[in-house]
Amino acid sequence: MRPRNYMLLLPVLFFLCCSEATQVSPAPVKKKKSRGAGFVFRERMIKGTDTAMVQLRGGVDAVLAQHWFLDDANDVSDDKLLWENGNGERLFPSLSLFADSTALENPRGNVKMATWRRELHDKVNTIILNYDNNEVKHLRIRELSLLRLKLSWRDGEDSFWMRFRADGLAHQDVHNDPFHPDNNKWRIKPGKKESTDEIIKR
């Protein structure tokens, strides 16, 4: 073949090479499999960014709606109020009252949930706790200030009293409070064995 004929073939060869190059796709990039969580975490999500604590002001109910901590073991009328029999757990070291009328007793131990309201009984301000197990307790307010609370109540022939302290602050949105009952339902032991669906729902 003459040199001139070779020159005529060069454009054809160049075109074929370019066509092959455009058809070659790059090697696929292997994606690393992400290790998904073995469970789905569910929690109550609060809309907005409010996690603020506010200084309590107002009437009796507004002052009551906060965390009340046992001030001193010496300020308890009976040691049996402090300890569960046999297992050494505190029975009533604190009481959390919320502005939405919910309450949580003993938040750091064997928790009990309730609703609360205040009424006048024999001209004495009284906190009425209605527990989830239908138990009702009447706590008479003997002393109350923004930071101090003294309660008394009767159990049959016996009467008891305790002094509590507080910091005068509460969450602006009660559902942001870690001690709110909505954030502690998972801690309540079921009365019977639960199915998987019941556990997930709880």
CB burial of residue 58 (10 Å; 0-12, 13-18, 19+): exposed
Helices (H), the chain: 3-23, 60-64, 196-201
Q: What does the pLDDT read at residue 36?
A: 47
> Scanning the structure block, which residue is given the tokens 């060069």?
10
Is the separation of the CB atoms in 107 and 98 below 8 Å?
A: no
Residues with Cβ < 8 Å from 117, sequence gap 6 or more?
101, 127, 128
Q: What span, in angstroms and rounded, lies between the C-alpha atoms of 58 and 136?
A: 27
Q: How far apart are CA 155 and CA 60, in angstroms?
A: 25
> What pLDDT tens digit does each residue of the chain (202 aa) get?
555 555 565 555 555 555 544 444 455 555 555 454 444 444 444 454 545 556 666 788 999 999 998 876 555 666 666 665 556 555 556 899 999 999 998 776 678 899 999 999 888 999 999 998 899 999 999 999 989 999 988 877 777 888 899 998 888 888 888 888 888 777 666 666 667 776 666 5
Note the pLDDT of residue 100.
94
Element of type H or E holding 96: strand 94-97
Q: What is the pLDDT of residue 202?
A: 56
Residue 81 in contact with residue 160, Cβ under 8 Å? yes
Residue ranges of the domains in the chain? 53-189
Which ranges of 24-162 does DSSP label H, i.e. alpha helix? 60-64
> For residue 164, what pLDDT is reported?
92
Per-residue model confidence (pLDDT) at position 129: 96
Q: What is the pLDDT of residue 67?
A: 92
Class of domain 53-189: mainly beta
CB 54 within 8 A of CB 170: yes
